[in-house]
Structure 1
Amino acid sequence: MKKWTLFFMLLIAAVVFTACGTKEESKSGEKDSSGAKEQAEEITIKHEYGEANIKENPKNVVVFDFGVLDTLDELGVEVTGVPQTAIPSYLEKYAGKEYTNVGSLKEPDFEAVHELNPDVIFISGRQAELYDQFAEIAPTVYLGVDYAKYMESFEGNMNTIGEIFGKEDQVKSELEDINKQISTVKEKTESLDKKALIVLANEGKVSAYGSKSRFGLIHDVVGFKQADENIEVSTHGQGISFEYILEKNPDILFVIDRNAAIEENAEPAKKTIENDLVKKTTAYKDGKIIYLDADYWYLSGGGLKSMKEMVKSVEQAY
């Protein structure tokens, strides 16, 4: 009898042990499944300088491009760290203490960035040479605009942001609105028998920008004809004189004031631009010297809001 009792006790123990093992295996399987799910939520973003593996909809975001910041603000995406030097006035809230200052656009505070332990860092042309240093800290995505193919590059950047933050539909809607806006403006510009010149004013000096340049969307996207089709394509523009402006005699002169963008209480570019030589041009005589908002054109170009405002601003030429 005792043998049978011992036998049944051992049998029960074996059953319990097997059940526990099955349960643990099940738990282990759940963990594996969960792990696979987490892995599936990580996306790979390819860009000009490599690729970044990022969790979808990252929460801890550091931004070193004001066009990207502009876009995230429009999409309702929160950020953690921004360079708080020369922030565009319409994004001034990001200069507040609730956001971490990570230096300037050209001189990042890598220690501050590292302490934030970001999920993703966004950079553009001004930080391109520092990509490797950023990538050592966290997944880094380069979203610079290729001026030679402005709209293709811009839309690609916007779609990338939409993919990362699960805002694809919102981005699609925004881009549709922008393209409609561009089409409306382009219909008017292409019917104008007027030629335009784009200049950047900087501390009394001027440089010209043409097609496929930093501000070339005025020609390439919106459709204004060029007063000079041989302008050198350069990041800093082609250095010119005021005699050059008179020689080319544009019907419309678009001016971006760099000093207004980076300095408080800077002397307006108008004092430099509207001198005796420029006053002889058709643009001046017809009241067609258009001063473009430096916040949008110089600091935050390539964002959802800035693009709308940039296109809108050239309508002043009508």
Structure 2
Amino acid sequence: MRLSMLLRAIPVVSLLLATAVVSAQTEQTLTIKHAQGETQIQKQPQTVAVLGWSTLDTMAKLGIEAQGIPSSALVPPMLKQYADNRFVKVGTLFEPDYEALKNLNPDLIILGRRSAGQYNEVAKYGPTLDLTPNPSDMLGSVVRNTEILGQIFDRQSQAKELTEKLQSSAKELQVLSADKGTGLTLLTSGGKMSAFGIGTRFGMIHDVFGITPAITDLKVGRHGQAVSYEFLLEANPDWLFVMDRDAAIGRDGVAAQQMMNNELVKATTAGAKGQIVYLEPVSWYLLDNSGLGVMQENIDRLLKAFAK
């Protein structure tokens, strides 16, 4: 009789155990929405490969370390810890190394803007997220990506504190920039100049930081609009924000400061008033100013520039 009752109870116990296992598995997984869909991943993954410096910057601010990183001749100075050979190189910023990914066998792979086009192939090697920021909502993208990483790695409180500070600083900059006049963002490279406006990769000068654009109809594209010194004189911005691509990638070239040492530039309001701001090239160009740490630092730099 007793044996019969025990045997009848076994399916019930088995069901309860199975339910408990499924529940535990569910509690240990997350479904993350990202730029290319939804991906189910495990919480607090132990082996993480990242093909994007901006995500590594955000992770560093949250106290998280990746195991797989981009192979690059230049490691951004704010991420100098990744110059150590103990980290596995899993490809360039553009091209994943699939053999390296296979050997690393990551629990999570995170792509950025330059590697996002390889998403479908990369996803075969592990759960993959595309955290490419939206160029029309850079601040919102940085906040969301920080929150996602905080959720994955159980750093929600740190993410909340840091994103609240970032948003507060951005609002402070918007207020301060409201009466500073117009601005124009330039990228110098190989002795040439390109201008970037609203909705571009460097458009956050206007979209996020609130600086009135000197020109509203600039070409929207990855490489901006090629411009001349005569164009700068005609646009006559109150402020020039200049970044040096050659310096960002460690290539010899005509320095941005040298290019701005020009009579036509000096004739602009920005040149005449000494209102030329040289943006930190690595964080703006290599990281698109889209990491939590670099965005906060660059907002702080602009606050100081405008406070003078």
In the superposition, the TM-score normalised over structure 1's length comes to 0.88
User: What is the root-mean-square deviation of aligned Cα atoms in Å?
Assistant: 2.2
- Tell me the amino acid that sits aligned with residue 291 of structure 1: Y
Gaps of 5+ in 2: none
**Where in structure 2 are the equivalents of 1:291-306 lying within 5 Å?**
291-300=278-287, 301-306=289-294
Give the structure 2 partner of residue 312 of structure 1.
300
Letter of the 1:234 counterpart: G
What are the equivalent positions in structure 2 for 1:249-260 lying under 5 Å apart?
Answer: 249-260=236-247
| Equivalent residue, structure 2, for 1:153 | 141
The reply on whether 1:217 has 2:204 as its aligned counterpart is yes
The answer to whether the 8 A contact 1:203-1:259 is kept is: yes
State the identity %: 34
The answer on whether the counterparts of 1:84 and 1:95 sit within 8 Å (CA) in structure 2 is no
Q: Residue 97 of structure 1 aligns to which amino acid in structure 2?
A: N
CA deviation profile, 1:27-77 (whole Å, cap 9, x unmatched):
785365234312332111122212211001111111111111011111111
Distance between the aligned counterparts of 2:75 and 2:11, measured in 1?
55
Which piece of structure 1 moves more, 273-282 or 133-142? 273-282
Out of 140, 150, 164, the position equivalent to 1:176 is 164
Pick the aligned partner of 2:261 from 270, 274, 281. Answer: 274
Answer yes or no: is 1:90 the counterpart of 2:62: no
Superposition pairs for residues 1-318 of structure 1, below 5 Å?
15=3, 26=13, 29-30=16-17, 33-85=20-72, 86-192=74-180, 194-263=181-250, 267-300=254-287, 301-315=289-303, 316-317=305-306, 318=308
Aligned partners of 1:296 and 1:309 also within 8 Å = no
Q: Could you tell me which runs of 5 or more consecutive residues in structure 1 were left unpaired when the two chains were aligned.
A: 1-10
Question: 1:111, CA displacement in angstroms?
Answer: 1.2
Distance in 1 of aligned mates of 2:231 and 2:133: 29
| Equivalent residue number for residue 7 of structure 1 | none
Per-residue deviation at 1:290? 0.8
Runs of 4+ in structure 1 displaced over 3 angstroms? Answer: 17-32, 264-267
Structure 1 CA distance for aligned equivalents of residues 151 and 274 of structure 2: 44
> Structure 1 counterpart of 2:207, which letter?
D
Matched residues, number:
304
8 Å CA contact retained: 1:45, 1:54 = yes
Counting helix residues as a fraction of each chain, which structure ranks higher?
A: 1
AA paired with 1:288?
Q
Greater gyration radius: 1
Mean Cα deviation higher: 31-40 or 231-240: 31-40
Secondary structure at the counterpart of residue 147 of structure 1:
coil
CA deviation profile, 1:164-197 (whole Å, cap 9, x unmatched) = 11222211111111111112222111122x2111
Q: CA deviation at 1:24?
A: 9.8
Cα shift readout 1:286-310 (whole Å, capped 9, x = no counterpart): 1111111012211222111111012
Cα gap change, 1:29 to 1:35, in 2 (>3 Å): same
- Tell me, yes or no, if the aligned pair for 1:59 and 1:78 is still in contact at 8 Å: no
